[in-house]
Amino acid sequence: MTLLLACSIAILFAIGGYLLMRRSIVRVVFGLVLLSHGANLLIFTSANLVPLRPPIARAGAPAPEPPFADPLPSALILTAIVIGFGVLSFTLVLVRRAARELRVDDVEELCSERPR
């Protein structure tokens, strides 16, 4: 499975990076989504993959019974997902606003735009 996931990561990063280099501003935003998916998956893969054994202890037990999935990447990714969500919503609204105010959808034009 690690191999499959590594391939997915490669594809997510490649396409995310490709979209990030587009001049159409909406595509840049979509690229961000794919990149954050890829990054989350990369963290997830860095631990040993243990199928279907979440790190939850039974009632009364002092710790989960091994083998169990590594809880640390999960905790990191959980934070990353939520922050990614905040960034994405903000970016979406920002792009919408920029498009309305400046009537520009090309990133390069946007960079040379002077505030009016």
Q: Distance between CA atoms of 52 and 26, rounded to whole angstroms?
A: 37
Give the residue, chosen from 4, 114, 115, 116, that forms a contact with other proteins under the rule CB under 8 A: 4
What minimum distance in Å lies between the beta carbon of 97 and other proteins? 5
What CA–CA distances, in Å, run from 77 to 65, 89, 114? 23, 18, 38
- CB-based burial label for 27 (10 Å; 0-12, 13-18, 19+): middle
What minimum distance in Å lies between the beta carbon of 54 and other proteins? 5
User: For other proteins, what does the binding mask look like between residues 77 and 116, x meaning CB under 8 A?
Assistant: xxx-xxxxxxxxxx-xxxxxx-xx---xxxxx-xxx----
For other proteins, give the closer residue by CB, 106 or 114. 106
What minimum distance in Å lies between the beta carbon of 23 and other proteins? 4
Binding to other proteins in span 27-66, by CB under 8 A: 27, 30, 33-34, 37-38, 40-42, 44-59, 61-64
What minimum distance in Å lies between the beta carbon of 102 and other proteins? 10
CA 93 remoteness from chain centre: 18
Residue whose C-alpha is closest to residue 28's, from 77, 88, 100, 115: 88
* Interface with other proteins: number of residues (CB under 8 A): 90
